[in-house]
């Protein structure tokens, strides 16, 4: 309906005031009786759907950058002597822990953070003012929509809470007044935001729909999704409010697994989670709906990892193109003799030679893990194998001619090596360990998290729904809680429940895996990384919970320098939180910068 669209455009404009409006006393003239705009349940559904659409765009890109690039598994890699993909260190600042309040990527993320919350605020206010009978709805039905939007707002707030903590404003009004930080004291601000999210979730859960196994709730905030947001809050409460909540978290996890909030189960085939009909997968709790022409974040789906000619490999003709700027953290240094295709013949392992417990992603996977192979689609079975691209890359899933590299290796065969360095000595001579600024077009293993179907399959990979919550996260959360309570065997059993699907030879599960000699907390953190590799908005928070984000060492930290700048093995703890962007502080004097920035 035209009127609905106009009202929601107004709401989006209002939400932008958090970072762009400078007139704090401006009078608002756009408040009109909500009854004019909401005539029936269909109009309410349209308003709610608009929020999901905006949420997908807002949180699937920039928050992925801040959670993944800053952590130990995924990096923004420049090439051609550090010239191509550099982008004035826009995203490299994340991988190198060198961001400031002036960093463009921080400002962009902030500006994308608030529209979803603004839309939620407006719709909640409107729906609470409407008589259910006036729009031919029952009170229970209307309350369910209100609970759904409150849960969406809590999810959106949780995402930004992970980034900025207690410096955030608590903005729950549909008006144009711009609040300052929740409290001038950062820790008190954290408690205010934490309590708000927790209360919103607790008050909303019983009015939400419960999944019955049919899949009808899996594209919406349902009871289990609500409880999983609360679960994340409890799991990270020591980080957020300096209070241990692992026992309460474990109880909640068990209730979810018992089916108290819906019917779910761990799938035997991990590919069901990511494939085109993933809302039918019993493990998926909630996924953001995707459809080309409606809601499409295809430019983020695998594309940052892919080369410019990736469609020759996948057999498609999609409009999306590869960025070739992102790779997994390498497993090997640059020792040895340089090979013609890049890489060296006798590198040292970051797992065994350096003893790193973080990073070294590809070799962290057991050789018997069925995921540890190049991505190949089988047209006969209609399914795929593997989640990586490594080694010589050839057309038609490795069966055709060699794909050619571009840039610094223009015209040469494209061979992805599990190393990062200037093997052609462009821009800088090769060193034993180099930062992601000094890669080449073939540096680093690539990740294919969601399947890419060939054109002959008639399936557009961009239509696969983006999974936000799945039951395996509950299992791993409970496993960690058991580890922290001293129940190592209980934790192993839970991880095994999920991990067994990746092994035909179950004996491999009897050992903690590459780089580990015991089932300890380092192992638990690594298991989080293996299960949720590249899924975003989680990894940095995992590292923080284990005190590894600034205090842990991986890859180039403590081993490489750039133009006289060293990357210390342990970084300043101020980087535990991101700073508020300077542009926001300039227009809103009520905001208080995070400590030490």
The answer to whether 304 touches 85, Cβ cutoff 8 Å, is no
Same domain, 234 and 152: no
CA distance readout (Å), 449 to 89, 300, 461, 475, 561: 26, 11, 11, 21, 31
Residues 6 or more apart whose CB falls under 8 angstroms from that of 496 comprise 509
> Tell me, what CATH number does 201's domain have?
1.25.40.390
Q: Is residue 481 part of a domain?
A: yes
Same domain, 400 and 372: yes
Q: Is residue 586 part of a domain?
A: no
Domain count, the chain: 3
- Of the three residues 532, 559, 587, the one that is the final residue of a domain is 532
Same domain, 157 and 235: no
**Res 35: pLDDT:** 56
Same domain, 253 and 373: no
Domain, as residue range, for 252: 216-286+464-532
Q: What is the mean pLDDT of residues 462-473?
A: 96
Same domain, 280 and 296: no
Same domain, 52 and 144: yes
Same domain, 370 and 413: yes
- Of the three residues 160, 179, 207, the one that is the final residue of a domain is 207
pLDDT beyond 50 at 523: yes
**Res 34: pLDDT:** 58
Q: Over 122-183, what HEC string results?
A: HHHHHHHCCCHHHHCCCHHHHHHHHHHHHHHHHHHHHHHHHHHHHHCECCCCCCCCCCCECC
Q: How confident is the model at residue 525 (pLDDT cuts 50, 70, 90)?
A: very high
Same domain, 230 and 296: no
Q: What is the mean pLDDT of residues 100-108?
A: 96
Same domain, 416 and 495: no
- Of the three residues 207, 225, 240, the one that is the final residue of a domain is 207
Same domain, 145 and 63: yes
**Res 33: pLDDT:** 53
Q: Is residue 6 part of a domain?
A: no
Question: Mean pLDDT across the chain, nearest whole number?
Answer: 91
pLDDT beyond 50 at 348: yes
**pLDDT tens for residues 372-417?**
999 999 999 999 999 999 999 999 999 999 999 999 999 999 999 9
Whole-model pTM: value is: 0.93
**pLDDT tens for residues 285-318?**
999 999 888 887 877 889 999 999 999 999 977 7
Spacing of C-alpha 581 from chain mean position: 21
Same domain, 249 and 351: no
Q: What is the mean pLDDT of residues 83-97?
A: 90
For 227, the token pair is 């409880």
> Which range is least confidently modeled, 55-64, 195-204, 444-453?
55-64
Q: Is residue 2 part of a domain?
A: no
Alpha-carbon distance of 390 to 233, in angstroms, equals 37
Q: Is residue 31 part of a domain?
A: no
Q: Is residue 401 part of a domain?
A: yes
Q: Is residue 240 part of a domain?
A: yes
Q: Is residue 147 part of a domain?
A: yes
pLDDT beyond 60 at 19: no
Same domain, 351 and 422: yes
> Tell me, what CATH number does 255's domain have?
1.25.40.10
């Amino acid at each position: 309906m035209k009127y609905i669209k106009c009202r929601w455009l107004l709401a989006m404009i209002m939400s932008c005031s958090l970072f762009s409006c400078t007139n704090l006393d401006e009078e608002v003239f756009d408040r009109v009786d909500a009854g004019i705009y909401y005539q029936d349940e269909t109009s309410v559904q349209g308003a709610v759907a608009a929020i999901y659409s905006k949420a997908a765009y807002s949180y699937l890109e920039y928050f992925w950058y801040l959670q993944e690039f800053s952590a130990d598994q995924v990096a923004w890699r420049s090439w051609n002597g550090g010239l191509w993909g550099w982008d004035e260190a826009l995203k490299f600042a994340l991988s190198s822990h060198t961001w400031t309040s002036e960093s463009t990527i921080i400002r962009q993320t902030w500006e994308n953070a608030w529209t979803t919350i603004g839309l939620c605020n407006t719709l909640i206010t409107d729906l609470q003012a409407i008589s259910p009978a006036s729009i031919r709805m029952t009170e229970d039905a209307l309350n369910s929509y209100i609970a759904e939007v409150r849960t969406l707002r809590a999810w959106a707030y949780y995402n930004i809470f992970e980034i900025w903590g207690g410096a955030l404003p608590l903005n729950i009004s549909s008006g144009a007044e711009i609040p300052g930080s929740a409290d001038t004291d950062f820790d008190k601000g954290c408690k205010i935001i934490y309590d708000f999210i927790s209360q919103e979730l607790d008050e909303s859960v019983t009015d939400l729909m419960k999944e019955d196994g049919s899949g009808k709730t899996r594209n919406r905030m349902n009871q289990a999704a609500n409880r999983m947001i609360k679960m994340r809050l409890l799991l990270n409460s020591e980080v957020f409010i300096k209070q241990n909540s692992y026992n309460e978290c474990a109880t909640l996890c068990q209730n979810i697994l018992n089916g108290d909030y819906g019917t779910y189960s761990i799938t035997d085939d991990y590919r069901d989670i990511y494939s085109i009909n993933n809302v039918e997968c019993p493990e998926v709790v909630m996924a953001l709906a995707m459809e080309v022409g409606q809601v499409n974040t295809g430019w983020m789906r695998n594309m940052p990892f892919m080369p410019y000619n990736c469609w020759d490999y996948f057999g498609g003709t999609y409009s999306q193109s590869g960025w070739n700027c992102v790779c997994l953290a390498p497993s090997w240094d640059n020792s040895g003799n340089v090979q013609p295709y890049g890489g060296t013949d006798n590198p040292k392992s970051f797992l065994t030679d350096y003893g790193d417990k973080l990073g070294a992603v590809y070799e962290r996977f057991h050789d018997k893990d069925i995921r540890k192979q190049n991505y190949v689609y089988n047209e006969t079975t209609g399914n795929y194998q593997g989640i990586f691209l490594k080694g010589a890359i050839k057309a038609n899933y490795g069966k055709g001619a060699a794909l050619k590299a571009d840039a610094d290796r223009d015209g040469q065969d494209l061979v992805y090596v599990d190393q990062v360095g200037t093997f052609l000595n462009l821009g800088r001579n090769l060193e034993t360990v180099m930062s992601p600024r000094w890669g080449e077009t073939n540096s680093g293993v690539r990740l294919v998290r969601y399947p890419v179907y060939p054109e002959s399959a008639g399936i557009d990979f961009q239509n696969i729904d983006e999974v936000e919550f799945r039951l395996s996260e509950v299992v791993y959360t409970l496993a960690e809680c058991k580890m922290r309570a001293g129940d190592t065997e209980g934790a192993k059993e839970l991880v095994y429940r999920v991990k067994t699907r990746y092994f035909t030879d179950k004996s491999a599960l009897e050992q903690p895996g590459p780089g580990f000699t015991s089932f300890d907390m380092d192992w638990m953190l690594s298991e989080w990384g293996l299960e949720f590799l590249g899924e975003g908005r989680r990894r940095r928070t995992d590292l923080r919970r284990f005190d590894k984000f600034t205090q842990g060492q991986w890859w180039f930290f403590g081993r490489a320098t750039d133009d006289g700048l060293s990357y210390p093995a342990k970084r300043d703890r101020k980087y535990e939180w991101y700073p508020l962007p300077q542009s926001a502080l300039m227009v809103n004097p009520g905001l208080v910068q995070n400590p030490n920035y």
